[in-house]
Structure 1
Amino acid sequence: MPYTVDFKTVSTVGLESSPFADALAGLRANEARYFKNKYDHVFTVEPASDAEATIEWVHRILKEERDIVIASRPLEATAFQVENIRIAYVFYESGLSINVMYTVDGPEKRAVGFKLSDGMDVPDELASSFKFARQRSKLAGTIRGSYFIIKNEY
């Protein structure tokens, strides 16, 4: 069942099995606030079992672009389109969040972003390839993020 993320009252609904549930919930709420403020989009997620196509699309891009396979179990995902950008998010039990921003009418904005919940270690599969920048968030504490540009068509 889809869950509408409330960025005013942060909840760990759907993320309870993560050792970083509170920080991951804050990270998810931070994303919800961004999309509400920038695009007036209501951010909803669904359990990974109901979002297999979205998770497979994200995992395919990771594998084909950079030979990355995420070891952690996906908990939730969402996919939507705002303006000409197809967007997908996957939230993992480890505290990792991965998003894909993919312009549908050309390659000008196509990237994969990684965000680490406050307190989690960098996953082994990302540690050797990415440097993570820090940003502060009232909802999520310290977020560490990195990204790469998508080169192929998906």
Structure 2
Amino acid sequence: MAYLVDFTTVSTVGLESSPVADALAGLRANESRYFKNKYDHDFTVRPASDAKATIDWIHKILKEERDIVIASRPLEATEFQVENIRWAYVFYESGLSINVLYTLDDSGKRAVGFKLSDGMDVPGELAEKFKFARQKSKLAGTIRGSYFTIKNEY
């Protein structure tokens, strides 16, 4: 069942098994606020069991582009299109959030973003490959993020 992420009242619904559930919920709410403010889009997520195609798409891009396999269990995911951009998100039990920004124009931006919830360690599969910048968020505390550009078509 889809869950509309409320960024005014942060909830851990669907994320309870995460050791950093509160921080991950704040990270998810931060994303919800971004899409509401920038695109007037309501950010909804589904349990991972209902979002297999989205998770598989992201995992395929990670594997083929950078030979990355995420060890943590996916908890929730979402996929949607705003303007001419396909967006996909997966929120993992470890506190990791991965998003794909995939502009549908051939000349557009295409990237994978990683965000780490406050209090979580950098996952081993990302530690040697990426440097993480810090950003402050009222909803999520300190978010550490990194990204890479997608080179192929998906």
TM range (shorter): over 0.9
Give how far 1:106 is off.
1.6
TM-score in terms of structure 2 length? 0.99
2:44 corresponds in structure 1 to: 44
1:67 corresponds in structure 2 to: 67
- Identity level (%): 85
Give how far 1:108 is off.
2.2
**Residue identity in the other structure for 1:135:** Q
Which consecutive residues of structure 2, in runs of 5 or more, have no partner in the other structure? none
**Residue identity in the other structure for 2:87:** I
Alignment coverage as a number of residue pairs: 154
When residues 32 and 20 of structure 1 are mapped into structure 2, their CA distance, relative to the original with a 3 A threshold, is same
1:4 corresponds in structure 2 to: 4
1:103 corresponds in structure 2 to: 103
Which consecutive residues of structure 1, in runs of 5 or more, have no partner in the other structure? none
SS in 2 for 1:35: helix
Give how far 1:10 is off.
0.1
In the alignment, is residue 30 of structure 1 matched against residue 12 of structure 2? no
SS in 1 for 2:118: coil
TM-score in terms of structure 1 length? 0.99
1:146 corresponds in structure 2 to: 146
- RMSD in angstroms over aligned alpha carbons? 0.4
In the alignment, is residue 88 of structure 1 matched against residue 95 of structure 2? no
Give how far 1:105 is off.
1.5
